[in-house]
Amino acid sequence: MTVATPSSLYADLNVDAIADAPLASRTWYGVGGKADVLISPRDLASLAMLVRRCHRDQVPVRVLGSGANLLVSDAGVDGVVLSLDSPELRSVEYNQQGCVEAVRAWGGASTEKLVQELARRGLAGLEQMAGIPSSIGGALAMNAGGRFGCIGDAVHSVAVMTPDGNERVFLRESLAFEYRHTNIPDGIILWAVLRLREENPITVRDRLKEYFSYKKNSQPMSDASSGCMFKNPLLADGTRESAGRLIDLAKLKGFRVGSAFVSPKHANFIAVDTVGGRASDVAAIAQQIISRVFDTHGIMLEREVVFWGADIE
């Protein structure tokens, strides 16, 4: 552990902590180094106190969700990495009486599991997230989604723990959910209330299967990847162009740098060899794709995948 992350930050709190914690196995890429310390707060009070102390001592704090849409440097990351995987911080709450029009999902909850459970209960409104691996907090932070919509479509309100450890609630009317962007303030997303409607469970499940089938057939879901590497760029006429199409037209399908390669199935997916894979190769190929696409089309791509680590950020 580094001097920047002393155990005094959390030793007296109700948390589980792992020093020099390997992160590779916790990400979809399966590559990357260690965290100074990985901390799982067991309750909200401990999380708040830890965040306050890190803010006071200027210790970096990162939140690890499902590990999708993330690349961790081979050298690892300093500071505190938070995992909101305790029962309290990944719970989903349903009202006990009357018609269910909303649920409260905490930030650590699995979006995939929630989508399936809602379908089982005959609750519609989140099927657009079928096949999108994420935690609720991670999905909200980037307004994750796809062809059929985004998570912001279902949001009623969001609670955020600010860097000074205080909790603030934002109603939908004050929030903007745009393509892979939201104005949710910096901090840790604690929970969201999602608007739903009761519907025949068979109808909801059928729609879910349709959406998931589309994703399975159009994307290389079996590769060691992290989803789409780049956002679809906004053109001068206000429309968005497919980043995958631009990469394909630049003749980069199958292009390789070390252990990383552009998927032959979908050019916006960068995969990595499951044996001997390196985050530095993924970062290098991403930069080369940006350069080649700009040279070919005059369009600058912007990453969708989040990079952690001073040498690749």
CATH 1.10.645.10 fits domain 243-308: no
Our CA angle for 132, 137, 141, nearest 5°, is 85
Closest CA to 137 of 116, 161, 163, 121: 161
Q: What is the pLDDT of residues 139-193, one digit of tens each?
A: 999 999 999 999 999 999 999 999 999 999 999 999 999 999 999 999 999 999 9
Confidence at 221, pLDDT banded by 50, 70, 90: low
Residue 76 · residue 309 · CB < 8 Å: yes
- The predicted pLDDT at position 222 comes to 58
- The predicted pLDDT at position 166 comes to 96
Please report the sign of the dihedral spanned by the C-alpha atoms of residue 204, residue 206, residue 212, residue 215. Answer: negative
What are the residue boundaries of the structural domains of the chain, listed by start?
7-87, 91-218, 243-308
Our CA angle for 258, 132, 144, nearest 5°, is 95
Confidence at 1, pLDDT banded by 50, 70, 90: very low
Topology, domain 91-218: 3.30.465
Residue 208 · residue 114 · CB < 8 Å: no
Confidence at 3, pLDDT banded by 50, 70, 90: very low
**Residue 120: pLDDT above 50?**
yes
Topology, domain 7-87: 3.30.43
Cα 262 off chain centre by: 21
**Residue 108: pLDDT above 50?**
yes
**Residue 68: pLDDT above 50?**
yes
Rounded to the nearest integer, the mean pLDDT of the chain is: 94
**Average pLDDT in the 26-34 region?**
96
d(CA 194, CA 155): 5
Helix-, strand-, coil-residue percentages of the chain, each rounded to 5: 30, 30, 40
**Of the given ranges (22-36, 40-54, 91-105, 240-254), which has the lowest mean pLDDT?**
91-105
- The predicted pLDDT at position 61 comes to 97
Share of the chain above pLDDT 90, in %: 88
Q: What is the pLDDT of residues 256-277, one digit of tens each?
A: 999 999 999 999 999 999 899 9
**Residue 100: pLDDT above 60?**
yes
